């Protein structure tokens, strides 16, 4: 991958142009919606792409990790006695920070356990085996949630006032949505920095490129893969918190559709590519919102998956290119 | 025989304890019996070469030493330690550096990051700085290319990076698997000169080669491997004179 500054700027420039045009088409409210939905898909897509990058597994249970994250959030908030908007700002900050931390740590831990017991024993098995296991894990997670919380959708406390709005340079924006978008961006920048700058980040990248060579450098593959699952699942956990804050509802089947769309995002951006997954997530958010605005809201899923098919046919490495298998 | 001037440094005294000892090692790939009782020793301060045709088991021997694959029977000792079943990533800390067959550099990472990967287990900043300097002194080209993705390097540069990366682990024993593979003659000369330099700086080397002429030029001793067995072992000088070796490996 050569770095030509001209080309590096081209993609953001085109995206900025498209976004500006789209803004005038869909209007501010829907534009912010697209960013918010996109942020959720992006957060989930990162886990798909990281896990695929390192062990070439499409972790079909990942959408359900997001779903469980939303239930953990619901359980946490309601058992602490919160059942609606928190108007006391310092308290709200503490609750938000605590909820994100707790949900991310819990889901990260669950991700590590899943990898340890469901996928690691199959690491050298034919690739179909862990894939089928992933589907099994997905059902297990759904069933566990169903046992504890029942089959019907539940309404979860929205601690940030959904009516609250701020004026941002002349544009009137919902506070929750702004918060969600900001959280997603902060997490994505943190992830990018971690992966590109730290020793563990280098271990993850080298393991994704060439597992044997990484071992010869002293990298403990098991630890590195576990850390990858922890981070990916923690991000899905954060998306679960966002689900509760933004939509105030969840159900045990939530992970399936969200997972499929996030997976599509990851493929769209180029699976294995972290920037690509984030970009893909936002693109899917925009595609959905645009199809709604254009009056095809019932078709938005067909459009999303139609795009997945087109990408797989015409550009299987995704928009930003796959980053796999490029050992020298 | 022209390229024989190399092995000037004295052969280590064989009374010393070996740095590496393989004892009747049998290694399998599922059903393939790749190593059929390998016994070999490398003494501190030596350059030893392992020669043999395609599929003889040279790579498997190195992978068995560095813990990438474990033998079904037999033992591997490194210094006083039994390392037969120690996993690869733990052997790096103990001083086994391995530049594997086919270079296997990290193509999407920069040259500098590749070298940092070599230093993955190390924490002493001063020592590390000295090792970076050592690698850049051996391979000035790597300094020039340090910000470039490893995958964009030429074959020769990639081999330099693979060796440099292994040196960054600060090995007591450096394992090199066909470092001259696919390189132009001038580069082959360079690589073997670097092996001499690395050795002169105090690192023990076990080098696998198809280029027997060059390998016997730098090595003190050599082993000849055939279908998983050692069929001949001797000093490099004697191996060069051996008619069978000349016929089979030296094109004579
Ligand atoms: N992953 C593997 N699975 C099965 N058999 C293998 C595997 N790797 C090597 N072998 C077999 O083990 C034997 C020794 O292979 P090895 O790679 O050690 O040979 P080599 O001496 O390094 O050969 P070359 O000079 O071609 O690199 C060969 O018969 C080879 O076919
Ligand atoms: Mg080989």
Q: Give ipTM to 2 decimals.
A: 0.92
- The number of beta carbons lying within 10 Å of the beta carbon of residue B15 is 6
- For residue B92, list chain A residues with Cβ-Cβ distance below 8 A: 216-218
pLDDT tier at A322, thresholds 50, 70, 90: low
DSSP class of A122: G
Contacts of A81 by beta carbon, 8 Å cutoff, 6+ apart:
none
Length of chain A: 328
Domains and CATH numbers, chain B: 20-104+172-249 (3.40.50.300)
Position B224 pLDDT exceeds 90: yes
Sign, CA torsion A181/A185/A191/A192: positive
H or E stretch covering A74: helix A62-79
C-alpha distances in Å from residue B232, one per residue of A106, B33, B51, B83: 60, 20, 10, 25
Q: Is B6 in the pocket of ligand 1 (CB under 6 A)?
A: no
| CB contact (8 A) between residue B89 and residue A205 | no
Instruction: Tell me the residues of A at the B interface, defined by beta carbons under 8 Å apart.
Output: 1-2, 199, 202-203, 205-206, 209-210, 212-221, 323, 326-328
Instruction: Kindly report, residue by residue over A37-59, the tens digit of the pLDDT.
Output: 999 999 999 999 999 999 999 99
Q: Which of A60-64, A265-269, B71-75, B170-174 has the lowest mean pLDDT?
A: A265-269
Test mutation, A201, A218, A273, chain B, max B CBs within 10 A: A218
Position B14 pLDDT exceeds 60: no
CA of B164 to the centre of ligand 1 (A): 25
Higher pLDDT, A254 or B12: A254
Q: How far is A47 from chain B (nearest CA, A)?
A: 20
- B231 neighbors B40 (Cβ within 8 angstroms): no
Considering the domain boundaries, does residue A272 fall inside one? yes
Confirm or reject contact between B89 and chain A (CB < 8 A): yes
pLDDT of residue A31: 94
Gap between the Cα atoms of B247 and B38, Å rounded: 23
pLDDT of residue A272: 87
Q: Which of B6-15, B57-66, B98-107, B144-153 has the lowest mean pLDDT?
A: B6-15
pLDDT of residue A245: 95
H or E stretch covering A230: helix A221-247
Q: Is B211 in the pocket of ligand 1 (CB under 6 A)?
A: no
Instruction: Kindly report, residue by residue over A297-314, the tens digit of the pLDDT.
Output: 888 888 888 988 998 898
Q: Is B184 in the pocket of ligand 1 (CB under 6 A)?
A: no
Q: Is B100 in the pocket of ligand 1 (CB under 6 A)?
A: no
Closest residue in A to B175 (Cα) is: A216
| CB contact (8 A) between residue B106 and residue A1 | no
Q: Which residues pair with B149 in a beta bridge?
A: B110
> pLDDT > 70: what percent of chain B?
94
pLDDT of residue B5: 43
Burial class (CB in 10 A: 0-12, 13-18, 19+), B28: middle
Mean pLDDT, range A65-82, rounded to an integer: 96
pLDDT tier at B6, thresholds 50, 70, 90: very low
| CB contact (8 A) between residue B113 and residue A328 | no
| CB contact (8 A) between residue B88 and residue A216 | yes
Mean pLDDT, range B52-59, rounded to an integer: 95
Mean pLDDT, range A278-289, rounded to an integer: 94
Across the interface, which of B68, B104, B121 has its CB nearest the CB of A218?
B121
Considering the domain boundaries, does residue A325 fall inside one? no
Tell me which ligand sits closest to the C-alpha of residue B226.
1
pLDDT of residue A5: 55
DSSP class of A4: -
Across the interface, which of A205, A217, A327 has its CB nearest the CB of B92?
A217
Q: How many structural domains does chain A have?
A: 1
Position A172 pLDDT exceeds 70: yes
Sign, CA torsion A172/A174/A179/A185: negative
pLDDT of residue A317: 86
Work out how many CB contacts closer than 8 A connect A with B.
Answer: 83
pLDDT tier at A171, thresholds 50, 70, 90: confident
Closest residue in A to B69 (Cα) is: A212
pLDDT of residue A158: 94
Range of the domain at A168: 5-314
DSSP class of B151: G
pLDDT of residue B11: 52
- A78 neighbors A244 (Cβ within 8 angstroms): no
Confirm or reject contact between B171 and chain A (CB < 8 A): no
Q: How far is A203 from chain B (nearest CA, A)?
A: 8
Considering the domain boundaries, does residue A254 fall inside one? yes
Considering the domain boundaries, does residue A322 fall inside one? no
Mean pLDDT, range A236-260, rounded to an integer: 95
Q: Which of A74-78, A178-182, A319-323, B223-227 has the lowest mean pLDDT?
A: A319-323
Q: How far is A145 from chain B (nearest CA, A)?
A: 39
pLDDT tier at A113, thresholds 50, 70, 90: very high
Q: Is B49 in the pocket of ligand 1 (CB under 6 A)?
A: no
- B96 neighbors B53 (Cβ within 8 angstroms): no
Mean pLDDT, range B41-64, rounded to an integer: 96
pLDDT of residue B7: 46
CATH number at residue A246: 1.10.3470
Instruction: Kindly report, residue by residue over B130-152, the tens digit of the pLDDT.
Output: 999 999 999 999 999 999 999 99
Position B91 pLDDT exceeds 80: yes
């Amino acid at each position: 991958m050569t770095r030509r500054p001209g080309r590096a700027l081209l993609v953001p420039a085109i995206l900025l142009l498209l976004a500006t045009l789209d803004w005038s088409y869909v209007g501010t409210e829907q534009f912010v919606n697209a960013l918010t939905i996109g942020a959720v898909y992006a957060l989930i897509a990162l886990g798909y792409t990281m896990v695929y990058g390192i062990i070439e597994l499409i972790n079909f249970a990942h959408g359900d990790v997001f779903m469980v994250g939303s239930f953990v959030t619901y359980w946490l908030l309601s058992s602490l006695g919160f059942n609606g908007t928190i108007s006391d700002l310092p308290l709200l900050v503490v609750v938000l920070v605590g909820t994100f931390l707790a949900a991310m740590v819990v889901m990260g831990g669950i991700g590590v356990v899943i990898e340890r017991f469901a996928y690691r024993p199959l690491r050298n098995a034919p690739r179909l085996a862990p894939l089928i296991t992933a589907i099994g894990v997905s059902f297990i997670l759904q069933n566990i949630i169903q046992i504890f919380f029942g089959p019907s959708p539940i309404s979860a406390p929205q601690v940030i006032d959904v009516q609250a709005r701020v004026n941002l340079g002349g544009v009137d924006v919902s506070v929750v949505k702004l918060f969600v978008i900001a959280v997603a961006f902060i997490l994505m920048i943190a992830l990018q920095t971690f992966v590109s700058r730290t020793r563990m980040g280098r271990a993850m990248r080298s393991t994704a490129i060439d597992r044997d060579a990484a071992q010869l450098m002293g990298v403990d593959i098991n630890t590195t893969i576990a850390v990858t699952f922890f981070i990916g699942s923690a991000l899905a956990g954060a998306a679960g918190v966002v689900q509760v804050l933004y939509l105030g509802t969840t159900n045990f089947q939530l992970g399936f559709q969200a997972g499929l769309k996030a997976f599509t995002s990851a493929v769209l951006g180029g699976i294995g590519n972290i920037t690509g997954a984030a970009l893909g997530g936002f693109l899917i958010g925009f595609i959905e919102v645009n199809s709604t605005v254009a009056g095809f809201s019932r078709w938005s899923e067909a459009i999303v998956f139609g795009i997945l098919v087109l990408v797989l046919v015409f550009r299987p490495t995704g928009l930003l290119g796959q980053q796999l298998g490029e050992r020298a | 025989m022209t390229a024989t001037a190399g092995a000037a440094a004295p052969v280590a005294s064989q009374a010393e304890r070996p740095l590496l000892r393989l004892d009747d090692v049998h290694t399998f790939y599922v059903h393939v019996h790749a190593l059929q009782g390998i016994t070999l020793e490398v003494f501190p301060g030596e350059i030893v070469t392992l020669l043999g045709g395609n599929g003889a088991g040279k790579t498997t021997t190195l992978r068995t030493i560095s813990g990438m694959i474990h033998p079904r029977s037999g033992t591997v000792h490194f210094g006083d330690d039994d390392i037969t079943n120690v996993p690869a990533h733990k052997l790096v800390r103990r001083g086994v550096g391995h530049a594997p067959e086919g270079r296997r550099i990290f193509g999407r990472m920069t040259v500098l990051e590749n070298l940092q990967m070599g230093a993955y287990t190390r924490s002493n900043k001063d020592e590390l700085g000295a090792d970076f300097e050592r690698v850049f002194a051996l391979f000035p080209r790597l300094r020039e290319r340090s910000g470039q993705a490893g995958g964009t390097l030429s074959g020769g540069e990639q081999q330099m990076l693979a060796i440099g990366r292994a040196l960054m682990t600060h090995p007591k024993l450096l394992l090199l698997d066909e470092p001259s593979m696919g390189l132009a003659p001038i580069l082959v000369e360079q690589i073997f000169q670097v092996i001499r330099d690395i050795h002169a700086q105090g690192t023990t080397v076990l080098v696998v080669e198809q280029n027997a002429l060059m390998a016997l030029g730098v090595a003190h001793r050599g082993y000849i491997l055939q279908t998983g067995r050692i069929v001949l072992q001797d000093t490099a000088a004697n191996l060069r004179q051996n008619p069978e070796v000349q016929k089979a490996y030296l094109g004579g």
